[in-house]
Amino acid sequence: MDYVQEPVLSVRNLNKQYGGGCLNCRGAKADRLIKNFCPVCGTVYACRDVSFQVYAGEILGVVGESGSGKSTLMECLYFDQEVDGGEALISSYKNGEANLFAESSQQKRYIRNHMMGKVYQNAALSLKMDFSALGNIAEKLIAAGSRHVGRMETRGRELLEHVNIPSYRMKERPKNFSGGMQQRVQIAKALSNNPPLLLLDEVTTGLDLSVQASVLDLIKTIQRELGISVVIVSHDLSVIKMLADRTFVMLDGQMIEHGLTDQILEDPQHPFTQQLVQSLL
Amino acid sequence: MKEILAIEHLSKSFRIHNLHKHIEALHDINITLREGEFVGITGKSGSGKSTVFKCIYRTYAPEAGAIWYHSQTFGPVDLARAPERQIINLRKREIGYVSQFLNVMPRTTARELVKQAVLEMGREERQAEWEADKMLAHFELDEELRDCYPATFSGGEKLRLNIARAMVKRPRLLLLDEPTASLDDASKLRVRELMLQLIREGTTMLGIFHDLAFMENLCDREYTIRDGCLTDLQNHVPSTLETMREISLAK
């Protein structure tokens, strides 16, 4: 029964701040902050006590206005940033008993290379624009311990084919690719080590509609075929509506509301969520 | 017969913050459904019929009261409070919902849409394909149309597809929110046939129909909602269905 399963990823009280804090704002007391900003020392509280679970084979949506802490959250989960508090457990790592944030950087690299894939809005953050598309995939495979060139090439071709990159362009540099193609190479790269968890940060933002559609379809197909768990961050509610089973809403670094995606869209409770949904075209 | 759904003192209101509005939608609703029953809900438009349905399906977050559903896998579940993941599971396997509007995945063909519904139940690919085809054929959706995107379908075609998608799962509890509103008579007949078949197979149904002729001889009991409140329930509308059921029981 898939309902009684253990979560694939479990995050508890994740905190991230930019700045040291001061007497005024320590403990992130809400009434002393302007939104999530301390007017005395200038500290920004980007994520405040964010907790959630992701289960096998589900897509969890994260929405919120820009600056609400969505991307910071994803960066913390992928160890792009150090957290200031909280824990994250992954079921496939040490039986889901070790706090990932407390692991050594070597272990973090291992977790990142074997148990996660991430796709950024800005492809340059994950792709080496001067390597070939195939080379980019090989890079991640090498990081995960592969050494056999022939096998890596086969795997790379298979993945790129899966995301519809024509075989005659696989040796080309992503620099020459369109935005949509770059996103697809990123997705192929993120999937290369068969991670149980995929983190998608604004993957369709800035793409034109037809390209956006093909990327969304690809995500849906991959998720269905591989049974992978996905956390998708987007400020575009229609993307969330199409993909996510459950959704949570962030505002000023806090999770203000969560629910089934259709409930969030049809019966939002929080004033900010209502405003967000009303803004939907 | 065993109770399958018991709505107790359900209330729901909507608070629209930026307009400073508070709208009372449902007040102290009590409804019970026994296994295998078909119960109709009537009332003027705007009286809160659909709101009841959406609360059961948790598209709306109920405010007060309980919605007890006796699940096959989980036993008694309060749909008003159950965890989201459990609701998702029940939606996939036990509770179906048909509205007047088709909410489709873009760029997914009609055939794929119905097939996905069967796959969600945990069936195999081949069987899902077969069942989807059978259902689409029953609703006389042209062979050619089945491999097209429903976004381009006519209103009636969309509606038929919508019903096919819900019914192909043979859910234990089926919520029908005016599914026949804009169908022609031949299609209505098709829907009716299938409803009778599902009732025979044991599906419990709660339905809203404006078409009283359609309701007649089909539902066992009726509730009427007026301004968000339940009024007198005409407790027993004897129907051909009951007679049918008696006959099958006698056998």
In CATH, what number is assigned to the domain containing residue B240? 3.40.50.300
Residue A216 lies inside a defined structural domain of this protein: yes
Band of pLDDT at residue B81, cut at 50, 70 and 90: very high
- CA torsion A210-A216-A220-A226 (nearest 10°) is 110
CATH number of the domain encompassing residue A215: 3.40.50.300
User: How many domains does chain A divide into?
Assistant: 1
pLDDT tens, residue by residue, B108-130: 999 999 999 999 988 999 999 99
Band of pLDDT at residue A1, cut at 50, 70 and 90: very low
Average pLDDT, chain B: 87
d(CA B143, CA B164): 15
* Res A27: pLDDT: 66
Asked if residues A137 and A165 have their Cβ atoms less than 8 Å apart, the reply is no
Q: Does B14 touch chain A (CB under 8 A)?
A: yes
> Percent of chain B, pLDDT > 70?
92
Of B53, B5, B56, B55, the closest CA to residue B31 belongs to B5
* Res B84: pLDDT: 94
Task: Identify the DSSP state of B32.
Answer: E
User: How many domains does chain B divide into?
Assistant: 1
Residue A111 lies inside a defined structural domain of this protein: yes
Helix (H, G, I), strand (E, B) or coil at A51: strand
Q: Does A66 touch chain B (CB under 8 A)?
A: no
> Percent of chain A, pLDDT > 70?
97
Q: Which residue has the tokens 């369109």?
A: A178
Residue A2 lies inside a defined structural domain of this protein: no
* Res B236: pLDDT: 45
Q: Which residues are within 8 A (CB) of A168 and not within 5 positions of it... i.e. 6 or more apart?
A: none
Q: Does B101 touch chain A (CB under 8 A)?
A: no
Chain B residues with CB under 8 Å of A266 CB are 54, 59-60
* Res B215: pLDDT: 75
pLDDT tens, residue by residue, A88-115: 999 999 999 999 999 999 999 999 999 9
Band of pLDDT at residue B240, cut at 50, 70 and 90: very low
Whether residue B14 and residue A55 make contact (CB cut-off 8 A), yes or no, is: no
Q: Does B16 touch chain A (CB under 8 A)?
A: yes
ipTM of the complex: 0.88
Residues 46-65 of B with CB under 8 A from A: 54, 58-61
Exposed / middle / buried, residue B184 (Cβ in 10 Å: 0-12, 13-18, 19+): exposed
Of residues A213, A220, A259, nearest to B61 (C-beta) = A259
Higher pLDDT, A60 or A67: A60
Residue A4 lies inside a defined structural domain of this protein: no
Mean pLDDT in residue range B70-93: 95
Band of pLDDT at residue B237, cut at 50, 70 and 90: very low
* Res A14: pLDDT: 96
Band of pLDDT at residue B105, cut at 50, 70 and 90: confident
Domain assignment of residue A54, given as a range: 9-278
Asked if residues A36 and A44 have their Cβ atoms less than 8 Å apart, the reply is yes
Domain assignment of residue B14, given as a range: 3-250
